[in-house]
Amino acid sequence: MEQKAILGGGCFWCIEAIYKSIKGVNSVISGYSGGDTESPTYKDICRGDTNHAEVIEITFDSEIVNYNEILEIFWEIHDPTTLNRQGADIGTQYRSVIFYLNDEQKNIAKKSKELVQKNFSEKILTQIDKASIFYPAEEYHQNYFELNPCQGYCQVVIAPKVEKFQINYKNKLKDS
């Protein structure tokens, strides 16, 4: 059964690259959600005055990978204990957020957050909010890591995250 999830965990290029490699994930679209501005652009988001987060919209086959597993990966691939930042990326657009699409996702997200909290010494600051309009990011943001592997940010920030994920989650990868 096809389902969707909307997650923000820092720069959307980073989390897009990881979720695209997971068995059962049919598509990943980088975009913006959770803000006040209609049809925001990347420039709008970077100013930090739209309240949007950089997010990805994941379409997945729940018979292969379920929503709980999508969230288990989410907790592993970013730091949910930092407020409005991931590494050197700072601003509200980089916040950790789960946008739920229905009550079932809301309940799973809350329970997942409670369970994973014991793995962190700091408090998890991830927001769990009702999904609002998802705006796909500009075309040049889509498949960014795949299309720009030699770009500096990709080599220094994204590649190490992807490599770590591939080592720790071999059984979840499309190629396995």
CB contact set of 90 (below 8 Å; sequence gap of 6+) = 84
Q: Write out the two tokens for 143.
A: 């498949």
Q: Out of 11, 14, 150, 154, pick the active-site residue.
A: 11
Tell me the one-letter amino acid at 150: C
User: Would residue 154 show up in a list of annotated catalytic residues for this protein?
Assistant: no
**Measuring CA to CA, which residue among 32, 82, 38 is closest to residue 54?**
32
Q: Is 137 left (phi over 0), alpha (psi -120 to 50) or beta?
A: beta
Asked if residue 98 lies in contact with residue 55, where contact means CB atoms within 8 angstroms, the answer is: no
Q: Report how far residue 11's alpha carbon sits from residue 54's, in angstroms, rounded to the nearest whole number.
A: 6
Distances (CA, A) of 167 to 62, 148, 160, 162, 163: 23, 22, 11, 9, 6
Active site residues: 11
